[in-house]
Amino acid sequence: MQAAANSLSQQSRQQQAGAMAALPIPARELFINGRWVAPVRGKYLDVVCPATEAVIGRIPAGTREDVQAAVAAAVAAHKSGVWAKTTGAQRAVVLRAIAQKVRDNKTALANYETQDMGKPIDEAEWDMDDVAGCLDYYADLAEKLDARQGSAIDVGMEEFSVTVRREPLGVVGLITPWNYPLLMATWKVAPALAAGNCCVLKPSELASVTCLELAGLAGEAGLPAGVLNVVTGLGADAGAPLSSHPALAKVAFTGSTATGQRVAQAAIANLRPATMELGGKSCLIIFDDADLDKAVEWVMFGAFWTNGQICSSTSRILIQERVADAFYAKLKQRAQSINIGDPLQPGCRMGPIVSAAQYERVRGYVQIGLDEGATLLTGGRRPPRTPRGHFLEPTVFINVAPHMRLWKEEIFGPVLSVSTFSSEQQALQLANDSEYGLGGAVISADAERCRRVAEGLECGIVWVNCSQPCFCQAPWGGVKSSGFGRELGEWGLENFLSVKQVTTYVSDKPWDWYSPQSKL
């Protein structure tokens, strides 16, 4: 997302360069113990390009047996100390080498990502920059970890020296979604490796290609065998046995709230910690003192980036009544101007929805909106120039009432719901009246009001006078049904560390355990 700032210059460069050819999808197996391994049951899943609906490759359909093998490899690697016993500085060298491999292979990785899940090629390239940036960031934190080892704690008794060691947890299970396939995986893999853990990654069956590539690149970059294992396959067949595996020290999950509940229950049944990055229905509040042209640009970015498939998408808009009509006119014009089509085409701003099932689901919500009595401002149809592929016009509903499913439920597609408000208090009440609490945003010329609203929003991420910028240095995560725990930043690293106190008796005197002075 940091790379989005360069969007305009990149876009114009690519427009000059012309359309990008679809690269052949590499034929890979599961990545277990540093090697490509065929799935035990010998089954594979088709990789379907959502823009063309053509089968463009295949991924292994891993099952319980493959998960067992991957976890066993990770356990062996962990016990050998080949990664866990390295210093942070040594791990940083490898993480930076992986980041460099990602940069060297950026064009191909972005091309695969776009073919696999449909996001515009410009966005896929920015994702790859962010992947490399995230690996570099956690390389820096790994290095800094060395200096934090053995930090002293003052317990107020000079007979004792108390220090803290930060150690890897062990083997961690990482389960990730399809909307930012490689970036969401990296948000977990980079801090997990920086902390010294061994990992088993289960990406979404809908978009696993680049995660398999990452594993191969990590091996080439010098990551020891067994430290990063990737098992592709269906959620029920590969994800469920991973999340319930008793050898895991932790499960880190990003995905829907419904699946997150199952994964969290599996982890807690083994008394293992879990972090949950789940769904959202984030609200952007626009006050009547806002510059509406600027506001509309943030609305577009917040609702239609990644083809509208963003967990933190500000897919609910609250516009202050006095300026609502002017806002609708600008929003309609801007939504209709989006360049939708072949996501490999330079300058494409919206590609297809990821899969046939998700396409039907999102179109179902368009019908629900109409049935519920919301007003369709624009969109809702297949764009005329896209006879094939899972394409949907950027869709905006206005007059969406708080009781409507359109307002309450995560759609995870390019469908925006707009409602109005009269007062700041009412806006906050409407924004917070949600089962979710991932993101929230406010746009206003009044800085003090923005501060109040930022404080009043019940969520983990607040954007002021913007929507969606995301930095790997800052914490990411939600409250309520959007999950628990934080990724990214120092919080992301702490998630993958175990804290051990080491208390040493340092006095020459014998310990007088029955003296009142010795009472601890």
Task: Cite the active site residues.
Answer: 277, 311
In the complex with ligand NDP, which residue's Cβ is closer, 33 or 208?
208
Q: How far is the CB of 254 from ligand NDP (least distance, A)?
A: 5
State yes or no: residue 393 binds ligand NDP (CB under 6 A): no
State yes or no: residue 302 binds ligand NDP (CB under 6 A): no
Three-state SS string over 346-367 comes to CCCCECCCCCHHHHHHHHHHHH
Q: How far is the CB of 481 from ligand NDP (least distance, A)?
A: 10
Applying CB under 6 A, among 50, 57, 177, 308 the residue interacting with ligand NDP is 177
Binding to ligand NDP in span 248-267, by CB under 6 A: 254-256, 259, 262-263
State yes or no: residue 188 binds ligand NDP (CB under 6 A): no
Read out DSSP for 3-41?
GGGGHHHHHHHHHHH-PPPPPPPP---EEETTEEE--TT
In the complex with ligand NDP, which residue's Cβ is closer, 41 or 103?
41
> CB of 212 within 8 A of CB of 28?
yes
Residue nearest to ligand NDP (CB): 235
* Segment interacting with ligand NDP (CB under 6 A) among 119-127, 275-283, 383-391, 399-407: 275-283
238 DSSP 8-state letter: I
Applying CB under 6 A, among 55, 236, 502, 506 the residue interacting with ligand NDP is 236
Tokens of 499: 């804290």
Applying CB under 6 A, among 113, 116, 130, 410 the residue interacting with ligand NDP is 410
State yes or no: residue 444 binds ligand NDP (CB under 6 A): no
State yes or no: residue 119 binds ligand NDP (CB under 6 A): no
> CB of 369 within 8 A of CB of 415?
yes
CB atoms within 10 A of CB 501: 10
Site size toward ligand NDP (CB under 6 A) is 33
Q: How far is the CB of 487 from ligand NDP (least distance, A)?
A: 7
In the complex with ligand NDP, which residue's Cβ is closer, 90 or 432?
432
State yes or no: residue 184 binds ligand NDP (CB under 6 A): yes
Applying CB under 6 A, among 31, 301, 412, 421 the residue interacting with ligand NDP is 412
Query: How far apart are the C-alpha atoms of 31 and 212, rounded to whole Å?
Result: 7
Q: How far is the CB of 59 from ligand NDP (least distance, A)?
A: 10
State yes or no: residue 389 binds ligand NDP (CB under 6 A): no
Q: What angle do CA 84, 85, 87 make, to 5 degrees?
A: 100
Task: Give CA torsion, residues 186, 191, 197, 199, to 10 deg.
Answer: -20
Nearest to 123 by CA among 244, 14, 282: 14
State yes or no: residue 175 binds ligand NDP (CB under 6 A): yes
In the complex with ligand NDP, which residue's Cβ is closer, 101 or 202?
202
Left if phi > 0, otherwise alpha if psi is -120 to 50, otherwise beta: which for 373?
left
Question: What are residue 310's phi and psi, to 5 degrees?
Answer: -120, 135
* Segment interacting with ligand NDP (CB under 6 A) among 12-20, 101-109, 209-217, 229-237: 229-237
In the complex with ligand NDP, which residue's Cβ is closer, 34 or 483?
483
In the complex with ligand NDP, which residue's Cβ is closer, 55 or 502?
55
Applying CB under 6 A, among 179, 197, 306, 417 the residue interacting with ligand NDP is 179
> CB of 221 within 8 A of CB of 94?
yes
In the complex with ligand NDP, which residue's Cβ is closer, 50 or 88?
50
Binding to ligand NDP in span 460-489, by CB under 6 A: 478, 483
Applying CB under 6 A, among 176, 282, 320, 467 the residue interacting with ligand NDP is 176
Q: How far is the CB of 310 from ligand NDP (least distance, A)?
A: 7
State yes or no: residue 357 binds ligand NDP (CB under 6 A): no
Q: How far is the CB of 211 from ligand NDP (least distance, A)?
A: 10
State yes or no: residue 112 binds ligand NDP (CB under 6 A): no
Binding to ligand NDP in span 422-441, by CB under 6 A: 438
Query: How far apart are the C-alpha atoms of 247 and 226, rounded to whole Å?
Result: 14
Three-state SS string over 442-466 comes to EECCCHHHHHHHHHHCCCCEEEECC
Give residues with Cβ within 8 angstroms of 505, minimum separation 6: 159, 160, 511
Nearest to 166 by CA among 84, 45, 52, 44: 84
* Segment interacting with ligand NDP (CB under 6 A) among 133-141, 197-205, 371-379, 451-459: 197-205
Taking CA atoms, 146 is separated from 86, 150, 164, 306, 381, in Å, by 10, 9, 12, 38, 55
Give residues with Cβ within 8 angstroms of 105, minimum separation 6: 213, 217
Applying CB under 6 A, among 197, 204, 210, 481 the residue interacting with ligand NDP is 204
Query: How far apart are the C-alpha atoms of 461 and 459, rounded to whole Å?
Result: 6
CA 63 distance to own-chain centroid: 24
Contact set with ligand NDP (CB under 6 A): 175-179, 184, 202-206, 234-236, 239-240, 243, 254-256, 259, 262-263, 277-280, 311, 410, 412, 438, 478, 483
